[in-house]
């Protein structure tokens, strides 16, 4: 008797169970979108720092090789990405490099001859 009742029962999920799963998926999707949305400025800042350090290294190599300060960024031995621009100001003993991401969202950061980084500035696309 048990066997016939068990086999004749309908199989599947109830509407309540399906709704609970949909709510859980919606909550997880919302949280993940908010998490990744907030990581964009951090990624841009890290990219700016890396690029600034590469330009600083190229300036130091240029000074070591030639004994003079680079006249512009085009004489440096690095590939300048089309998304980034840089300005070099100062002299052999005291210089500041400004790196700017020229595409939106814009970010600007500075680095000096000793490797000290300035705070990143968002929304500023000019050198």
Q: Is 15 a domain residue?
A: no
The boundaries of the domain holding residue 79 are 40-122
What tens digit of pLDDT does each residue of 64-102 get? 999 999 988 888 888 777 788 888 899 888 999 998 888
Q: Is 108 a domain residue?
A: yes
Q: Is 102 a domain residue?
A: yes
Torsion of CA 35, 102, 54, 43, to 10 degrees: 0
Can you tell me the distance from the alpha carbon of 38 to that of 103, in angstroms, rounded to the nearest whole number? 18
Q: Is 2 a domain residue?
A: no
Q: Is 62 a domain residue?
A: yes
Q: Is 127 a domain residue?
A: no
| SS3 (DSSP) at 121 | strand
What tens digit of pLDDT does each residue of 93-121 get? 899 999 888 887 888 888 888 989 888 88
Torsion of CA 78, 54, 35, 123, to 10 degrees: -80
- Domain count within the chain: 1
Q: Is 113 a domain residue?
A: yes
pTM of the model: 0.66
Q: Is 24 a domain residue?
A: no
Q: Which DSSP symbol is given to 68?
A: S
């Amino acid at each position: 008797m048990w066997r016939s009742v068990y086999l004749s029962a309908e199989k599947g999920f109830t509407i309540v169970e399906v709704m609970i799963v949909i709510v859980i998926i919606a909550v997880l999707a919302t949280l993940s979108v908010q998490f990744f949305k907030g990581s964009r400025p951090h990624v841009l800042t890290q990219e700016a720092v890396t690029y600034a350090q590469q330009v600083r290294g190229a300036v130091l190599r240029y000074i070591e090789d030639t004994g003079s300060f680079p006249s512009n960024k085009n004489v440096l031995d690095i590939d300048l990405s089309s998304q980034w621009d840089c300005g070099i100001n100062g002299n052999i003993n005291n210089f500041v490099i400004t790196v700017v991401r020229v595409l939106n969202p814009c970010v600007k950061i500075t680095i000096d001859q000793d490797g000290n980084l300035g705070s990143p500035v968002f929304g500023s696309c000019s050198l």
